[in-house]
Structure 1
């Protein structure tokens, strides 16, 4: 089968013929239809410091996908051949304290699909049935292909109650924009998103944010004034990983404000802990998705009319992966999808 492979310990990716993945009695073999390009995939292609530490070559990359079940193992009961499915890309041990308590997203032995084991940028991908999410209701294939990052957005946005709250989102990448759409849909009063890219801020405007603010030109405090806020934001969603974004967010929260942090910094940085303490601010780290409560919430949100179509800005045949990755790396787009149906 064709697969997009990190074949060598150097920058680049290679489209190669590789064997179909083997499956066991509890596994599902999935024919891939579409895949989404993630920042993780860009790091692996660039072969930066993180990728050199995290990835052993050769490796089929990719973890955002939708596909059709081709075969199921003899012990699989709830997934059928022909089902349309996406997959949870964090494979957990099932034995640690958190796994046994139903908190699988907190497993310390998590292995990442397309990072620690062969992934989904291929004609077929294999997963344990326990990692498969069956789409029981109609869903657009492009959206189903990006359920993984959509889950990051939902997990972050729904960390704290949103009804009637004023929400600040720092970072208008695809996940930040999806989180903004979720916050509006979930009943937030005002949703402000910040970035320095006018292209991405324009995408955010298409999902209905109250204010998309270019922080290279205006401060968050100025944004507050434009929205008519007097006491600061109630909920913050930090999506950028930028020190200045986190620092500005803390400075613009109301007393008792709550911050969910998904953005991953590249290095430690100082924050104003005196402000956090005296303003009684809660900060919660977010990683991945709750299994499978977040997935349930995603499907229900789409059923209830949440529109994520503006976030999908490009689709390429998988053979044109070079151009697709270049666009994704350019930082001016939303989600880029690879189509594998021509394989």
Structure 2
């Protein structure tokens, strides 16, 4: 397969992106597959790259095709690929790992010291075809819509965050209701949380949180957050806090709202150092703090697939906008304004 295809390219160091013609990937390595992308969704990481913030400046090297969340169909396989076949409907683990560093060898490949991410460190999926190692492919049921397949990867972040400790019968607070926070609401509810409290300053996102299963909503900019939390928990604090905002004030509140002996799992990426009262909010409270990155490979994927296939988690309400790749500016503006759930580019 040869020729050109339109792609959304991070064309230069600076804000924005352009649709450009790029070469269709060819010369597959023996262990690689080529996937025809049917749907691809915008991630918060893509917004960082699009707006060219400090993280993007330090990490990515334009020009290249970005994007890393997708669902599609395998159209070609390398000579040594056995477990993936042409015609399979797939998603992909986007972290390409080395397999031989100390983290990989102890079974923690999600924190591989040599991780390369598609759409960040190598060519991505905001285009018609993408190639990647067959080991990174997750085969889906052909009944699963491609748009849902495209958001399994970020759902994995939510599942990893929620299930990094006990949830059943416990109160859970989700601090920050961006798309992954909204998924975390649904996963916590499906996993037996006794109460799921969603916190944000964005009314649109809080309304979505209620749709996804939140039992209580806190509009952080309008109320005394800690007072509200104590009213919901009989003054004890929350058993499990999932920090998804990265905002310094919200992070401080997150550590203060967790109950003694509780857990806080942090997925967010603050753009600057955050001050935390370690003595009073961590040590004296005896809490567990977990840093979350990516998805455990591949037990988190198994959990994601199980939650979707069983119907315990329904992500359809989360997909609020379906647009073409050519309308990318609209999609990124929606993401920047927080006036959306997940925005999906439909390439089919």
TM-score normalised over the length of structure 2: 0.95
Q: Which moved more, 1:136-145 or 1:75-84?
A: 136-145
**Aligned twin of 1:161:** 166
Q: What secondary structure does 1:85 align onto?
A: strand
Q: Where does the alignment leave 5 or more consecutive residues of structure 2 unmatched?
A: none
Is 1:201 aligned to 2:206, yes or no? Answer: yes
Partners of 1:81 and 1:273 in 2: CA distance: 53
Q: What secondary structure does 1:18 align onto?
A: strand
**Aligned twin of 1:332:** 339
Partners of 1:100 and 1:325 in 2: CA distance: 38
Is 1:310 aligned to 2:310, yes or no? Answer: no
Match 2:147 to one of 128, 132, 142? 142
**Aligned twin of 2:327:** 320
Match 1:20 to one of 17, 24, 36? 24
Within 5 Å, give how 1:81-120 maps onto structure 2. Answer: 81-120=86-125
Structure 1 residues 112, 61: CA separation in 2 closer, same or farther (over 3 Å shift)? Answer: same
Partners of 1:147 and 1:303 in 2: CA distance: 12
Partners of 1:38 and 1:327 in 2: CA distance: 12
Which digits, 9 at most, give the CA deviation of each residue in 1:273-292, with x for residues without a partner? Answer: 11211110110000111111
Which digits, 9 at most, give the CA deviation of each residue in 1:295-319, with x for residues without a partner? Answer: 1100000122111222111010112
Is 1:34 aligned to 2:42, yes or no? Answer: no
**Per-residue deviation at 1:110?**
0.4
Within 5 Å, give how 1:224-243 maps onto structure 2. Answer: 224-243=229-248
**Aligned twin of 1:121:** 126
Is 1:292 aligned to 2:292, yes or no? Answer: no
**Aligned twin of 2:10:** 6
Contact 2:89 2:142 in 1 (8 A): no
Q: Which moved more, 1:312-321 or 1:130-139?
A: 130-139
Q: What secondary structure does 2:252 align onto?
A: helix
Within 5 Å, give how 1:175-254 maps onto structure 2. Answer: 175-254=180-259
- Figure out how many residues of one structure are paired with residues of the other and give that number: 341
Q: Where does the alignment leave 5 or more consecutive residues of structure 1 unmatched?
A: none
Which digits, 9 at most, give the CA deviation of each residue in 1:239-293, with x for residues without a partner? Answer: 0011111211221121101110001111112111112111101100001111111
**Per-residue deviation at 1:140?**
2.5
Q: What secondary structure does 1:177 align onto?
A: helix
Partners of 2:240 and 2:54 in 1: CA distance: 33
Partners of 2:128 and 2:301 in 1: CA distance: 24
Moved over 3 A (4+): none
Structure 1 residues 102, 228: CA separation in 2 closer, same or farther (over 3 Å shift)? Answer: closer
Partners of 1:140 and 1:192 in 2: CA distance: 29
Contact 2:230 2:237 in 1 (8 A): no
**Per-residue deviation at 1:102?**
2.4
**Aligned twin of 1:262:** 267
Partners of 1:86 and 1:229 in 2: CA distance: 43
Q: What secondary structure does 2:23 align onto?
A: coil
Superposed CA RMSD in Å reads 1.2
Partners of 2:142 and 2:11 in 1: CA distance: 38
Which digits, 9 at most, give the CA deviation of each residue in 1:102-131, with x for residues without a partner? Answer: 221010110111011000111100010011
Structure 1 residues 300, 12: CA separation in 2 closer, same or farther (over 3 Å shift)? Answer: same
Is 1:171 aligned to 2:176, yes or no? Answer: yes
Is 1:78 aligned to 2:83, yes or no? Answer: yes
